[in-house]
Amino acid sequence: MVVLFLAVALVFPAIMSASAATSEEPDNFVPYYDQLDANGKAIFDALESADAEAHEITVGLPVILTAKANDPHTAEEYVRNLLRTTIDDAFDALRLSSPMAYWGWTVSTVPYPTADLTITGNTATVTEIYFQIRLDQYPPDPETGVFGGIQKMLDDLNAALEKFSTDGKTVRDKVEDINNYLVNLVTYDPNWESEEKSRYAHDAYGALVDPKHYAVCDGYSEAFLLLCQKEGIECVIVYGTAISNMENHAWNYVKMDNGKWYAVDVTWNDGSNNAYLLKGGDTFFYTHHQGVYLKSGWIPYPFISPVLSDTAYDHTPVAWYGNYSWLLAVVIVALISAVLYKYSRGNK
């Protein structure tokens, strides 16, 4: 009976576990850009491909925004809200996937755009929007005292990317080399809460080019993304919330050679001995949450991000019987107790 019980208790669950191990869904991630609507893509394309000397951009909307309401004011507000969502999504996608696009480096340098909005009766219509970049927000060259221009900043950023090299043969080795390079190069901006904070702490430019190499989480993650792109590694940035302090945070997901996605938080690896390198969803989401937390509650993440692997990339699979060791211990304790009970009864 004992042998039969053990067979049922251990072998059957092992068969079920083996069948469940192959149930992970394939990667169906759609890039952030492709998740935008037609107008969002038009805005993204215009900002990403802008010439360094282009400080004003006009974007014609491929899908004209129009709304009709009971009064012109309500129609106008409705159209403006649609436009605001489209623009916000386009800028988010730009910052999350194309850090070389300088229009997205510092959001405050791009005032909210004006729109070619017309009202006819109770109908509001938008066909074009206009963006301007405020160059007065960019710092002067420390040597000349004059702003050197966007193209120089782009050239400096490209040169900084070229400084990185890796001898890694596998995707795993390259990802770790990129992570370690940034951990050793970048310092979390000690003044991030004060007026003295680094101007480019939120951008790859601050992490890789600025002499102090000060950055905060989105600067780390943008630099990581650019270096992954340089090495041909599929990678995205994810915005969310650090659960420990409920503050906004940014990190990366990378696609490994097994076709699965894993989390890398370079910011937190800086000082934690790479505790957040290639993590799986089983532990990562205890500390990170996709979406922004405000007093009004959680604001959903604007994009569908990659689905993380269940376990870490370096996870060592537990032998099937390891998952049921507790049950085996219970059985052994029960058998010993039964033997001791029988023995004590026989000695009376």
Nearest-angstrom CA–CA distance, 153 and 72: 45
- Domains of the chain: residue spans and CATH: 28-138 (no CATH), 147-317 (3.10.620)
Q: Are 128 and 59 in contact (CB under 8 A)?
A: yes
As a whole number of angstroms, the longest Cα–Cα distance in the chain is: 103
Q: What pLDDT is stored for residue 159 in this prediction? A: 97
Q: Which two tokens stand for residue 35?
A: 């998740």
Q: What pLDDT is stored for residue 335 in this prediction? A: 77
Q: What pLDDT is stored for residue 6 in this prediction? A: 40
Lowest mean pLDDT among 59-73, 79-93, 131-145, 205-219: 131-145
Lowest mean pLDDT among 75-89, 260-274, 292-306: 292-306
* Span 321-337, pLDDT tens digits: 455 555 666 777 777 77
> What does the H/E/C string look like for 64-129?
EEEEECCCHHHHHHHHHHHHHHHHHHHHHHHHHHCCCCHHHCCHHHCCCCEEEEEEECCEEEEEEE
